[in-house]
Each structure stands twice: as structure tokens, then as C-alpha cells.
Amino acid sequence: MSSFDIHSVDMRIVQNRKKWFAIPAIVLALAIIAGVVYGVVFNGAVFNAGVDFTGGYAITVSIGAGLDNEETRADYEERITDVIENPGEYSAELADMNVKGLNVRSFSVQKEGADKELKVLFTAPGYSDSQMVGTDDSRDGIVHLLCDAILEAVRSSEDIFGINAVPEERVTASIGAELIIAVVCAAALFLALMFVYLSVRYDFAMAGSMILGVVIDLVMTTALMCIFRIELSAMFVIALIAVLVLSLAGKLIVFSDARRAVKEKGASVSPTDIANSSVRDTFVRSIVCSSVAIGAVAVMTIFGAAFSVTSLVLLGLPVILGLVSGLISSLLVSPSVWAVAAERGAKAKAAAAAAQASAPAAEQNSFFGFDDIKQSGTEEAGSDSEAPVGETPPEEAAAGSDESAPAESDDAEVGAATEESAGNAPDEAPAGDYGKSEN
């Protein structure tokens, strides 16, 4: 039984490029649809932006010794979460205000013993501070109404006065517009510098294909975060940086093999065949590297979820999504883009060479048109010096007529004198008599 050899497989990656190009297009379309739906359902919140991006509000619930038991604590957290995320079911005033879209972000235990408090942090997208907090002299804000609803839901008949809920000061966002702009500019500068380096190291088409693949991975990661409604926190910025670097590293594996094939085979093999063979030769290596990275991040994410370390979960999920997208773009999208661009470039060069070869030699050697002017002047001079056989050029005919005029007049005078002398002379004698008279 023969073993499977992947190098013998005819991978038609470039030929099926429309399918691969459709993958990011479909993901982006789904993200747009999901964003519209989420914007309607969650009061304009397209992304599930956390406190780090939007800021938030906090309520402290004093429970005391009831938090010592993990099961009791979990029950309290569940009831508080239900009140905040479904306020209309617990308060008639909040139902009349049509409050919706509030999201609980985290719980934390403060103080010790009988003074233990459970602090809940939540976001309220679409609501202003005046709506949430209200005026200073009244308790008509949404936060105060939530505190009253939480007390009604959490208090038991045995402990009417032992539990209390009070609002805290607003939590400001740690990631503002300036930081986001700075991160985007830094990423754009990095990609621009990498494009210059890769253009020198590889070629223009390969560099553009790799950078385009990295951009697609970043967009797909963000789109998938929107689709799956994963919270965006400060960890998301770190995750995007990791995706950027790991995505570029995955593409270098494939394009390094393609660059070697181009150097060895040159123009004898089409870019399509080179792209297909490069993906085939690096397929196992790319799968193994991506699988190891995804497995390591997945283990970290699972431990974070098991031990309630939210930051690890919020870091691991976008990295996993980015690694999956990077694997797809490295093996399918970027090689196809390069093959199409390289073949079009080769056709354009061939057409330009054919047009140059068909042009006249004088036109090819002309320098700012001087040779053309010189050649046209020579042709005019030649046309003037040449005349049809049997005909005299006009200039020579005129000059000849002027020169022959005096000669013709002299001949006429000589002829006239001869005729006069002939008229006065005696009649001609016979030849013999003429000879005698001479003598």
C-alpha cells in the first residue's frame, strides 16, 4: 500500500480563486447585516464595545456574609444581571422609559467579612450621562431606578434591611479616539515599511499580495467579532497587533517558496503554476504552524474561562479568529492575487515589447526627434537632385537655355554670312575643273 504524497496532488488554487475571494466578501456582508440588526436591537450598539472603549456605570450591592458561599454568590450575580439587562420586567418606570441594551461587563468582590460588597460594572450604549445619572437633587436617573429594582429582586423576606444597593461614579473609558487613531497610524506605517522591504526582497506583486492579505485578516477579525458579538476591550488592540504579525509570518512561508521557484524556473513556468506548486509544497508546514499557534491560544482561553480571568478570554478569542483567517488568506487568497497580478504584468510587458519591436528603426533611435528631422531633410534633398530619365531638371533647363542663347545667335550670324558669300560666288564647277582652277 503506497503512502500519500501531497507533492503529487494537483492543487488548482488559482483556478478556483473566485471561491476564495468570496470568503472575505461573505464574512464582510454578514458583519454588515449583523451590525444593522444589533444596532436596532441593542440601541445603536453595532459592536459589543466594553468599558475600555465606551466607559460605564457601577453599582455596589452590599450583601455581607452571603458572598462567602460560591453558589450563593453565583445566584446573586445571576439575579443582578437579569435585572440590569431586562429592566422593564422589574420596574414599571424603566418599562415606561423603554430602557434596553444595557450589558453587564464584570462582577468583583470588595471588602471582607460582614462588609463584603458585590460591585457590578455595566455599559449603557445610546444613553447620555444625564439620562443615566439624572439630576443631583433627584433619583430619577436610570442608575437609581436600577438600584431600586435590584434591591427588590435580591432582598429576601428574612433580610429586609441587610442588603443595600448604591450607585458609584461613572467609569471613564481607557481607550479614546486619540489612542485608536495612534494605533491605526502605527499599523499603517508598519505595513508601508514592510511593503517597501518586501518589494525589494521579493517583488512588487508579491509584496502587494502579502500586505493585502494582512489587511484582509484584520478586517475579517473585526467582522467576526461583530458577528459573534464578542466584547471589545483593551485586549482587542493587543490581539490585532498579534494577528498582524502572525498573519504576515504565515504568508512569508508560502511566498518564500514562490520566490525560489521564480528564480529557478523563470519565465518557463507561469505564475499560476508557481502559485499552485508553492501552496502544495508549503501546505503541511502552514497547517502545522497555524495549528500549534491556535492550540496554544485556545488552551490559554480555556484556562481563562475556567478561572474567570476575563482578560485572557477577551485576548484569546480574537487571536484565534485572526489565525484562522490568516491561514485561509495565506494558502488561498494571497497566492491567487499574486498569480493574477503577475500574469497581467507579464502580458502587459509582452504587448509593450511587441509594439516596440514593430516600430521603425529610425523611430527607435531618434533622440527628441532630431534624427527624424535630419532624415526628412535628406529625403527632400534627394528628391530635388533626382529627375526622371530623359528629362532635364527645371533649374538646369533654365541655366542651359540662358547659356545656349548667345551660341545660337553666333551661329545665325555665321550662317547669314555664308549665305551672302555663296550668293556672290560663281556657280560651282565640276570637280575636275575646280581642281584645275586651284592649280
Looking at the fold, whether 36 and 82 belong to one and the same domain comes out as no
Q: What total number of domains does the chain contain?
A: 2
Looking at the fold, whether 337 and 211 belong to one and the same domain comes out as yes
Domain-embedded: residue 437: no
Looking at the fold, whether 222 and 337 belong to one and the same domain comes out as yes
Burial status of residue 309 (CB atoms within 10 A of its CB: 0-12, 13-18, 19 or more) = middle
Domain-embedded: residue 434: no
CATH classification of the domain holding 106: 3.30.70
According to DSSP, residue 368 is labeled T
CATH classification of the domain holding 342: 1.20.1640.10
Looking at the fold, whether 136 and 73 belong to one and the same domain comes out as yes
Domain-embedded: residue 299: yes
Return the ∠ at Cα 235 (arms to 230 and 239), rounded to 5°. 85
Sheet holding 117-123, edge to edge: 103-110, 117-123, 57-62, 164-167
Looking at the fold, whether 192 and 325 belong to one and the same domain comes out as yes
Query: What is the structure's pLDDT at 78?
Result: 92
Rounded Cα–Cα distance for residues 68 and 83 (Å)? 22
Domain-embedded: residue 322: yes
Domain-embedded: residue 47: no
Choose between 377 and 311: higher pLDDT: 311
* Residue found under cell 488552551: 299
Burial status of residue 386 (CB atoms within 10 A of its CB: 0-12, 13-18, 19 or more) = exposed
Looking at the fold, whether 91 and 211 belong to one and the same domain comes out as no
* Residue found under cell 434596553: 100
Rounded Cα–Cα distance for residues 271 and 161 (Å)? 78
Rounded Cα–Cα distance for residues 116 and 63 (Å)? 6
- pLDDT band with cut points at 50, 70 and 90 for residue 143: very high
Return the ∠ at Cα 334 (arms to 34 and 26), rounded to 5°. 20
Looking at the fold, whether 195 and 132 belong to one and the same domain comes out as no
Query: What is the structure's pLDDT at 425?
Result: 43
Rounded Cα–Cα distance for residues 205 and 199 (Å)? 8
Whether the predicted pLDDT of 132 surpasses 50? yes
pLDDT digits (tens, 9 = 90+) for 359-375: 655 455 544 444 444 45
Which of 316, 351, 386 marks a domain boundary? 351
- pLDDT band with cut points at 50, 70 and 90 for residue 211: very high
Which of 167, 200, 217 marks a domain boundary? 167
Which of 318, 351, 384 marks a domain boundary? 351
Looking at the fold, whether 336 and 198 belong to one and the same domain comes out as yes
- Percentage of residues of the chain with pLDDT beyond 90: 52
Q: Where is average pLDDT lowest: 96-105, 209-218, 276-285?
A: 96-105
Domain-embedded: residue 360: no
| Residues spanned by the domain of 24 | 14-42+175-351
Domain-embedded: residue 239: yes
Whether the predicted pLDDT of 125 surpasses 70? yes
Looking at the fold, whether 308 and 193 belong to one and the same domain comes out as yes
